[in-house]
Structure 1
Amino acid sequence: MKLHGTSRINEQGHLEIGGCDAVELIRTFGSPLYVMDEALIRHRMRQFMEAFESTNLPFQVAYASKAFSTLAMCRIVDEEGLHLDVVSDGELFTALKAGFPPERIYFHGNNKTPDEIQMALHAGVRLFVVDNFVELSLLEHLAGQAGTIARILLRTTPGVEAHTHNYIQTGQEDSKFGFDLASGQVQEAVRQAMASPNLRLEGYHCHIGSQIFEVEGFRLAVQKMANLVSECRESFGFTPSILNMGGGFGIRYREEDTPLPVSRYVDAIAEAVRSTFPQHVPEIWVEPGRSITGEAGTTLYTVGTIKEIPGVRKYVSVDGGMNDNPRPALYQAEYEALLANRALEEPEETVSIAGKLCESGDMLIWDISLPKVKTGDVLAVTCTGAYNYSMANNYNRVRRPAVVFVRDGMADVVVERETLEDLTRNDRIPERMKKEHVQG
């Protein structure tokens, strides 16, 4: 299997990430454990920046923090000069607490609450990506109350169906996201935004899906956005200064996955923009998330019980599962793995990796070839840096793992492992349920 970033097999036959032995990481920080390759995260960010710089077009790259959001991650985004996309008060709070400049944050989401909007207005975020008419009206009202002008992009659904799983398509007409382009909703939103003294419309946003391995969808989306720009310029005299083409750039979860180099995606978008905006070229924004952190993450587990059903299947259970990686259960996501403590040994058997949660669907990997697996082995599941920690949960009251960043032989905890006390920290027993203490 392909290793990513700084990962390699060291002289002990152990998986090594960022110069840190995976077996030692488990001994030091416990199991399961999320391990993030800091050097690879920074490298991916720089690839996007350098690819756009080579196009000579005005641009902005924003990290989509929904993929993986921690204080330390926000610091890296800031240090590398990217902007930040947030979709909740929690992601915004994390960014602000990390010291991220609010003028480089913009707020996404299809159901922003009044409290979230007020928090973002008070913080001074760069702009809002407005998703629907209810939000447009609410934002206008709250910006007026705050005595400010909210800068906005209008999110559109351009009717482009990316070749990906149904659950992570977002650009088709039948979507919970954005103003529909085909029915004229976007045009009406432009009219309302331009009529408001409390809103400043700066451009458009679209996002056609996630885990995309081709460029035709992006080219088609640019063309549709160009048609919208032309129509709204003629109808309302509005010319956008920003065109946000979203993210969705694929990564290699498995050997057969064929993502394109970052430069191919960027060049395709740039070429499409040049050909469709010959006179006024807007600033091009993208918001990669998975493509920055996905391949940088590895989850380390310890093998527990092993169950063999003769002639049927051999189940190998690990000390995590759908609580730290719900993606296989959500949309049949597939992963590769290796035994981190015996990485040079040849495969001997086909097994299926089960989680420890009380659900038959708690399966991480079906039918993977590994050396003869033993209780106590360390299993490393690769490419878990996006939508794993961010989707982690406490099902069965299982504690969420710690997160460590590794780089140049150093390992730093960026999220502490939850304790048993953490699980009940916010629980309360009503007074009427409390046991009476018998005296005497």
Structure 2
Amino acid sequence: MADPIDRGLLPESTVLSPGATSIGGCDLLGLAAEYGTPLFVYDEQQLRDRCREAVAAFGDGVAYATKAFLCTAMARLAWEEGMCLDVATGGEAFVALHAGVPSDRLVLHGNNKSVAELDMALRRSVRRVVIDSFAEIERIEALVSGGAPPPRALIRVNPGVDAHTHEYLATAGADSKFGFALRSGEAEAAVARVSASASLDLIGIHLHVGSQVLDISSFSRAISEVGSFVAGLRLPELSIGGGLGVAYNAGERAPSITEWAAAVTAACRAAGI
């Protein structure tokens, strides 16, 4: 007999009964018979509830990371619930726009943006562009000199902290390829470079410590690490990125979005941000 499934790994609407399982009132055997297997099943109400929790916890501007799961229905759902959408490729941006999401609710991310992707973002006037390298600054300046409007930009800073996640999912270690390193002075140089450019409107700093992070103290440590740097800039925005984990194994507990936001808020206050 198979071991019972840990309820903590299932959507809240899951009902387990002998010989049957349903999610959101939909029988899984019936879904498998109708659509075939393998099959991904999402509970729309739970998705909406989590979006609402995120907006309530962080306010306007909180973004859904489309790399987690993206189709037109998901993009439309997140936007309907008041979220922005974080896109890292032209393809992700196309899906979001095709779903009817306004371009000013998109945040362009990623450490390998092409000239075409940047050009699309600038000419569509996306909400934010997160800058990841000096080469990207040069690409944006060239596009603006060619007639594209200057973007509102955040600089991605690598705080150099251990996120207590799998090494392949960590993005803020000392040897990470992502963002501008704080400890080497690279982040300070990037801020100076963008601030002096007429082609970019610097409005904030962005961090991302990793993915599948279950220990929310990782976010607090990252904020503490960049606290004096960020406070001294007096920019209107600080994005602490995503990466909050979910339970994959029996016995694991993932912090709620509300708990995560409370820890982040406390860390920002302690850092004087």
1:26-425 paired onto structure 2 within 5 Å? 26-52=32-58, 60-230=61-231, 233=232, 238-277=233-272, 281=273
Give the letter aligned to residue 241 of structure 1.
P
Give the letter aligned to residue 133 of structure 1.
F
Aligned-pair distance for 1:253?
Answer: 1.2
* SS of structure 2 residue aligned to 1:166: coil
Gapped runs of 5+ residues in structure 1? Answer: 54-58, 282-440
Distance 2:216 2:25 in 1: 35
Distance 1:46 1:69 in 2: 18
More strand by share: 1
Distance 2:33 2:27 in 1: 10
TM-score, scaled to structure 2: 0.93
In structure 1, the partner of 2:21 is: 15
Distance 1:67 1:205 in 2: 19
Distance 1:173 1:182 in 2: 8
The one-character-per-residue Cα deviations of 1:182-210 (angstroms, maximum 9, x if unpaired) are 11111111111111111010110011111
Distance 1:195 1:108 in 2: 22
Aligned-pair distance for 1:80?
Answer: 0.3
The one-character-per-residue Cα deviations of 1:160-181 (angstroms, maximum 9, x if unpaired) are 1110100000011211110111
Asked if the contact 1:62/1:83 (under 8 Å) is kept, the reply is: yes
Indicate the structure (1 or 2) with the bigger Cα radius of gyration. 1
TM-score, scaled to structure 1: 0.59
Distance 1:18 1:207 in 2: 33
Aligned-pair distance for 1:252?
Answer: 1.1
Give the letter aligned to residue 73 of structure 1.
M
Distance 1:103 1:51 in 2: 21
Deviates more, 1:160-169 or 1:219-228: 219-228
Task: State the 4+ residue runs in structure 1 displaced beyond 6 angstroms.
Answer: none
Which structure ranks higher in relative contact order (CA pairs < 8 Å, sequence separation ≥ 6)?
1
State the identity %: 40
In structure 2, the partner of 1:6 is: 13
* SS of structure 2 residue aligned to 1:204: strand
Gapped runs of 5+ residues in structure 2? Answer: 1-5
Aligned-pair distance for 1:147?
Answer: 4.1
Give the letter aligned to residue 9 of structure 1.
L
Query: How many residues are aligned here?
Result: 266
More helix by share: 2
Give the letter aligned to residue 29 of structure 2.
V
Counterpart among 24, 49, 54 of residue 30 in structure 2: 24
Give the letter aligned to residue 5 of structure 1.
E
